[in-house]
Structure 1
Amino acid sequence: MYRKSLTALLALALTVGLTACSSKPPEESEPPDSQPSVSVMAPVEPESVLPYVNPLTGEGCAQDIAQKRPVAVMLNNLKKALPQLGVSQADIIYEAPAEGGITRMLAVFQSVEEVGDIGSVRSARDYYVSLAMGHDALYLHAGGSPGAYAAIKNWGAAAFDCVNGPYEGTLFWRDKERRRSMGMEHSVLTSGQTISELMPTYSYRLEHKEGYQYPAAFLAEGEKAQGAPGNRVSVEFSTYKTGVFTYQPETGSYLVEEYGAPYLDGNTGEQVAVKNVLVLRTDVSYLQGDDAGRLSVRTTGTGTGQLFCDGTVQDITWFKAKHGAPMTYCDQSGQPLKLGVGPTYVNLVDHSAQVTVN
């Protein structure tokens, strides 16, 4: 509040035209035209970079999970047993033929903590044991063929069996609705939370041995796969089962179909999408003397195949030195194959299988 001026001073101020001591404050003057205006920019928050990498997908992750043993779950793929649960969160899905024209799947999860229910869990085959051991994985199954049980014993697999092990009612359970509507053999489930909570209570190591490194290479950010057009591929396992993979340019992934319909995850109702589709040619034959018509599927040695990624297809070569060794891939020049960053779907088929690229 301005103080009151003395009368004499006010008269003198009015005489000389001063205004500084008037009862009204002076008006603010306009800044000179030559003075530049300054706009203050809000600070830009840098994009958060996840500090670790999932070794199976190349994706960033918040925790260091590279030395954790993955979990590999044997999945039923009969049409009547669908939908499967948890498959949209698998890092790698292997599919191979089984007896009678059907297929089974092996879903591999580097980390299962945030995965919901997984299943339905089905019986083991020796070639799936080989694939699981290639990841040094903890292998979950419900029963198995004689060859699978022999492989688990002779190869030293870390296997958890719902049927002939002490795990039913703890690590596994039978879903009442599936048991009622689909049958006993299609009702076995587990879950990511259950696996995470119970695995530390068992006498198996939960981390890879020192020096372990999964031998996968991935495309750099902004790098695209090269090859001929490969926007859609159908893989015929038998007259009963054909898988179809269709590229979606807007997402950069392939949507998966089977039995003429979208391949759905029953946990979410969403169609499964993958970044990479591998088709591996190998030797598939009937097991001599097996009265159930079971198959032998070669998973070791070497063979040819194709990679579908970013709407392209290229010829590749696959290698697996032994059952406990990982599957590795090379491009046509003999260099390590670079996969797209994201989940991978691996189809193992006979040399004579019909694979159609559109």
Structure 2
Amino acid sequence: MKSPFTGLPIAKNVALKRPIAVMVDGSKAALPQSGLQCASVVFSASVEGDIPRYMAVFLDEIPTKVGPIRSARPYYIDWACPYQPFYVHCGGSPKALERLWNEKGIVNIDYIYLINGKGRETEVSNYQFFHRTKDRKSPHNLYIDLQHFQKEVSKKSAIGELHSDIANFSAYESIPHDWTPKNVSLIHNLEITRKQLLNHKKKIFFNYSKKKQKFERLFYCEESKKWQPHMDQNTSDIISIDNLVVIETGHDVIKGDLKGRVMIKTLSRGKAWFCMNGFMTKGSWLKITADTAIRFFDLKGQRIKFKPGNIWIEVISRKEKVKILSASELSPQSH
């Protein structure tokens, strides 16, 4: 059978396991992260201070080391809910923790609760699959051994077929058969400029590798004034993506929040860009309720068909800019 996340062939006993969603630190001190390349799906968004954070969803591959692990936010929980995952995190905002305490579909795996012996009956009681490394300072050094974790929770792991697949999948070698030159653009690079609250900018770059037939993720380093590859420590290689999705939605700083936390609008619809095999098409995304999966559509309202493989979903605000570069334009190495 096929994986509900990647569309790739997967053993039935694996497909019936509960997915594992892990909150991964995106700050500079967390680089390079471990395990993102093995994730079936990654949601990339910002927390307070415009610091990136990732929710990596694992099903097809289960790595031994994932992290550094950080705290939960409500919008990630909205994205996770339809897949009924084990939700691995280290604390969270007050609203996120309240939500997780009352959420029935998600199995809450909170490191802070586990080490303090405050886990609920639905949670595991052992936290030995977590560990802190000595090469980094806290809080950027907490990791989880997902293979150890999966063995620990094997009795709670099977949930049957997922209620919500994340996308439609179609096997093809080049572009989907239903794409035409009128709604498809050949691209070499995709650049996202993030304007921060402090009025300086961050840039993210996705470079298409013809050799890999994948998009590679890079970020602009202000200190060196150079593009840096976003590496995965487990593989010692740049993060490579089969299906790149950029979605635009509302971002608002929560009034009265002393830490300047943000609320990202998840139950809505908005613009989207879909990139695979060196091509891009525009469309939209839609999420009706917390319990329904996010859906992706082309400009004709038809469900997007993705290339079998991993999906990276980059979430941006309406103030941020997406720039599509053709093969004849500058690559990040020449900026």
Shift of 1:272: 0.8
- Partner residue in 1 for 2:135: 177
How big is the shift at 1:129?
A: 1.2
Change (3 A) 1:336 1:138: same
1:99 touches 1:293 (CA, 8 Å); kept in 2? yes
The match for 1:267 among 212, 229, 234 is: 234
Residues in 2 aligned to 1:112 and 1:192: alpha-carbon distance in whole angstroms: 10
Query: Is 2:260 aligned against 1:293?
Result: yes
Residues 17 and 160, structure 2, Cα contact 8 Å, conserved in 1? no
Contact 1:127 1:298 in 2 (8 A): yes
The match for 1:12 is none
Q: Deviations over 1:295-344 (max 9, x none)?
A: 00011122221101111111111111211221111111111110111111
* Per-residue Cα deviation, 1:14-47 (whole angstroms, up to 9, x for no partner): xxxxxxxxxxxxxxxxxxxxxxxxxxxxxxxxxx
Secondary structure (helix, strand or coil) at the match of 2:272 reads: strand
Alignment pair present for 1:312 and 2:260? no
Residue identity matched to 1:208: I
Aligned length in residues: 299
Which shifted more, 310-319 or 282-291?
A: 310-319
Equivalent residue, structure 2, for 1:163: 112
* Distance change (3 Å), C-alpha of 1:247 and 1:206: same
Q: Return the match for 2:44 from 86, 95, 104.
A: 95
Equivalent in the alignment of 2:149: 195
User: For the residues of structure 2 that align with 1:351 and 1:245, how far apart are their CA atoms?
Assistant: 19
Structure 2 gap segments, 5+ residues each: 118-124, 221-226, 326-335
1:248 aligns with 2:205: no
In structure 2, the CA distance between the partners of 1:240 and 1:177, relative to structure 1 (3 Å rule), is farther
Return closer, same or farther for 1:257/1:100 CA change in 2, 3 Å cut-off. Answer: same
Corresponding position: 1:139 with 2:87: yes
**CA–CA separation in structure 1 for the residues paired with 2:254 and 2:21:** 24
Partner residue, 2:333? none
Structure 1 pair 345–328 and aligned structure 2 pair: CA distance change class (3 A): same
The aligned amino acid for 1:173 is H
Contact 1:102 1:241 in 2 (8 A): no
Q: Flag the 1:168–1:207 CA change in 2: closer, same or farther, 3 A.
A: closer
For residues 205-216 of structure 1, what are the structure 2 equivalents within 5 Å?
205-208=156-159, 212-216=163-167
One-letter amino acid matched to 1:198: E
Structure number with the bigger relative contact order (C-alpha 8 A, sep ≥ 6) is: 2
C-alpha deviation, 1:116, in angstroms: 2.2
Q: Aligned to 2:14, what secondary structure does the other structure show?
A: coil
Establish whether residue 341 from structure 1 lines up as the match of residue 302 from structure 2: no
2:250 aligned partner: 283
The Cα shift of 1:188 comes to 0.7
| Superposed CA RMSD | 1.9
2:29 alignment counterpart = 80
Q: Structure 1's 135 and 231: CA in aligned 2 closer, same or farther, altered over 3 A?
A: farther
Counterpart contact for 1:101–1:240, Cα < 8 Å: no
Structure 1, gaps ≥5 residues long: 1-51
Contact kept in structure 2, 1:53 and 1:64, CA below 8 Å:
no
CA distance in 2, matches of 1:101, 1:184: 20
SS in 2 for 1:59: coil
Larger radius of gyration: 1
Q: Which amino acid aligns with 2:187?
A: G
Percentage of matched positions with identical amino acids:
26
2:283 is paired with a residue whose SS is strand
Contact 1:102 1:240 in 2 (8 A): no
1:36 is matched with which residue?
Answer: none
The answer to whether the 8 A contact 2:8-2:308 is kept is yes
TM-score by length of 1: 0.78
SS of structure 2 residue aligned to 1:60: coil
Q: By how many angstroms is 1:138 displaced? A: 1.1
Structure 1, residues 95-134: CA drift from partner, whole Å, max 9, x if none?
1111112110011111454x12100000111111111113
